[in-house]
Amino acid sequence: MGSGGAAPEGQSERDRPWLMRTYSGHSTAEASNELYRTNLSKGQTGLSIAFDLPTQTGYDPDSPMARGEVGKVGVPVVHLGHMRTLLDGIPPDEMNTSMTINSTAVWLFALYVAAAEEHGVAPNALRGTTQNDIVKEYLSRGTYIFPPVPSRRLIVDMVAWCDANAPAWNPINVCSYHLQEAGATPVQEIAFSLATAIGVLDAVRDSGQVPAERMGHVFASISFFVNAGIRFVDEMCKLRAFTELWDGIGVERYGVEDPRQRRFRYGVQVNSLGLTEAQPENNVQRIVLEMLAVTLSKRARARSIQLPAWNEALGLPHPWDQQWSLRMQQVLAYETDLLEHEDLFDGSHVVEARTAELRDAARAELGEVLDAGGAFEAVDMMKGRLVASMADRTRRIESGDQIVVGVNRFTETATSPLDGDESILRVDPAVEASMVDDVRRWRAERDAGAVESALDALRVAAEGGENVVDPSIALARAGGTTGEWGDVMRGVFGEYRAPTGVGGVVGSPDGLRTVAEHVRAIPGGPPKLLVAKPGLDGHSNGAEQIAVAARDVGMEVVYAGIRLTPEQIAASARDEDPDVIGLSILSGSHLEIVPDVIRRLRDAGVDAPVIVGGIIPDRDRARLVAAGVAVVYTPKDYELGRIMGEIADLAAAHRQG
């Protein structure tokens, strides 16, 4: 009998429920371990670790690049001591662990392996997943470090090492989730993620690291992490189409004969893009409906599910908020009769027709990406298409063609008892200083010679084309840090700046015509808008849409992409002489980073007004304004025409002095 319990008499055996996770981690390894153990005691059946941005991008907490970001969107894991603490009381051979980590995936996996070994657990007993999908980082999430070719090489090394040493571990979780967050249509989500999987599998096959007879196992080790939006019928059909296409790729491209190895195995977090800051209580029903997309159809049911909390559009959720999301899963799995039946939609003409439509369109789009050389070679093309799709979504919401309850329709509301300054979790500002002290103490107390030897061995392996997983594990055991691993790899592979996708996108000039006329009338020619993303936050959708809209109304736009330092922004503003400067921050580091940027701007003699957009709680607005910010925008501000008009007014006023 499955773990869902006995079915009523006369009905078939219940299916086993999916793995239930909550995506979590914050502040420190100690605080995150307490949260994990609490969630597991409430019935969560798998871990999903969120790492902070310095960990994701290969910096130690005392790096200038990490300022303001330590512990904000996840847990900082800098060395083996942190991984020990993070997993304290959680047996690694009994837990299925998912790690949302990409550029530094080899390193965090090495720390996990080393920590497990200290408990006597060999790699072949580990079960879990490293996300390790760098293409979607270039396209949407922004925590990339290295160029595409060496990044693919690191993924191949992980796949090959796991096949030989940790066969129950999924070395890559091809992630279409963030593609939808960046605006992808269902067709794009299917096609771009399948192209990524093909790019990795082809590289593994051609690397010589995996025997030909093991390619079936390698194919089976590739898992996916998908999104499920509010159009849950379409989303369900998307997953059925995914399943059919993946099976066909296994047979036709890789000759995988065992149908069990061709199963489309995926986990899911339902849509965060559609969660609203306005009337956030509506997010509860959105989350429940989106969960149906990945559970109702048995043939395309998720193997693991993690649900966002209702208030994640506002900031970090409290443990109680995450419990609410976990209970949604448990009620569906244990109280309803869903798991007692075969697929509810087999034979449905509507579902079969829509599935076929999505499958055929995705196959054609996949063909275009492969014709362009493949996912790793077609980053520019795919990025442009995603920015265009997001621009279309933004236009539909602003025009009212796409209704969002509480945002552009049914906006009247009573006061919510869930509102207030305490509705989100705030990371203690002292965490960063304590983590800086921690890493410096760790370096002082370790065997420096052993670390240097391990770093040298890692460098030799990276330069010589050897598999880097074993040298990374050796460095973890010796006491190396995230920043040291990152520095070695940067030295060998260099760093990369992904395309912005803004240049070739056609926006919606019709909806901005009035503002465009106003812009043309401003004395002195088109205003210049400098759009910048300071800090390590790589979620660039908002910045990209502002840049596209500003260009459409006739402004001159300067946008250099993500991850700029305050010094770089000030230097660019000094050289470009913009009329308005727009900063975008979604990681919660606005109170640390924005005042620093403004101070450096003024020191450089730049007096242009500064506007800020991001996930910014109401109580932080006054502090930003006091620091010199002219206007603060949040996700509630969806009307691009109004925003562009206000930017034009600021530019005109600035020119008048």
At a CB cut-off of 8 Å and minimum separation 6, what does 31 contact?
Answer: 75
177 given a catalytic annotation: yes
Q: Which helix (H) or strand (E) holds 568?
A: helix 566-576
Q: Which residue in the list 23, 36, 59, 266 is annotated as catalytic? A: 23
Known catalytic membership, residue 537: yes
Catalytic residue among 52, 438, 537, 579: 537
Residue 178 bears catalytic tag: yes
Cα 131 from chain centre: 10
Identify residue 7 by its one-letter amino acid code.
A
User: Which is catalytic among the residues 533, 552, 620, 638?
Assistant: 533
Question: Tokens 């409906």 — which residue?
Answer: 289
Q: Which two tokens stand for residue 371?
A: 């014709």
Contact (CB, 8 A) for 301 and 432: no
The β-bridge relationship of strands 222-228 and 556-559 is unpaired
Q: In the annotation, is 636 catalytic?
A: no
Cα separation, 43 vs 36, in Å, equals 11
Positive or negative, the CA dihedral 96, 101, 106, 110 is: negative
- Is 596 tagged catalytic? no
DSSP line for 105-171: HHHHHHHHHHHHHHTT--GGG-EEEE---HHHIIIII----S-HHHHHHHHHHHHHHHHHH-TTEES
Q: Which of 177, 266, 633, 638 is catalytic?
A: 177
What is the phi/psi pair of residue 47, to 5°?
Answer: -95, 145
187-200 core/surface letters (b: 16 or more CB in 10 A; e: else) = bbbbbbbbbbbbbb
| Core vs surface per residue 349-380: b (16+ CB within 10 A) or e | eebeebbeebbebbbebbeebbeeebbbebbb
Nearest residue to 288 via CA among 267, 310, 311, 312? 310
Q: What is the DSSP letter of 75?
A: B
Considering the candidates 26, 178, 238, 590, report the single residue annotated as catalytic: 178
Check 539, 596, 620, 633 and give the catalytic one. Answer: 539
Residues 6+ apart with CB under 8 A from 17: 2, 3, 4, 45, 329, 333, 334, 339
606 in Cβ contact with 654 (< 8 Å): no
Rounded to an integer, what distance in angstroms lies between the CA atom of residue 377 and that of residue 555? Answer: 32
> Would you name the residues annotated as active-site residues?
23, 177-178, 533, 537, 539
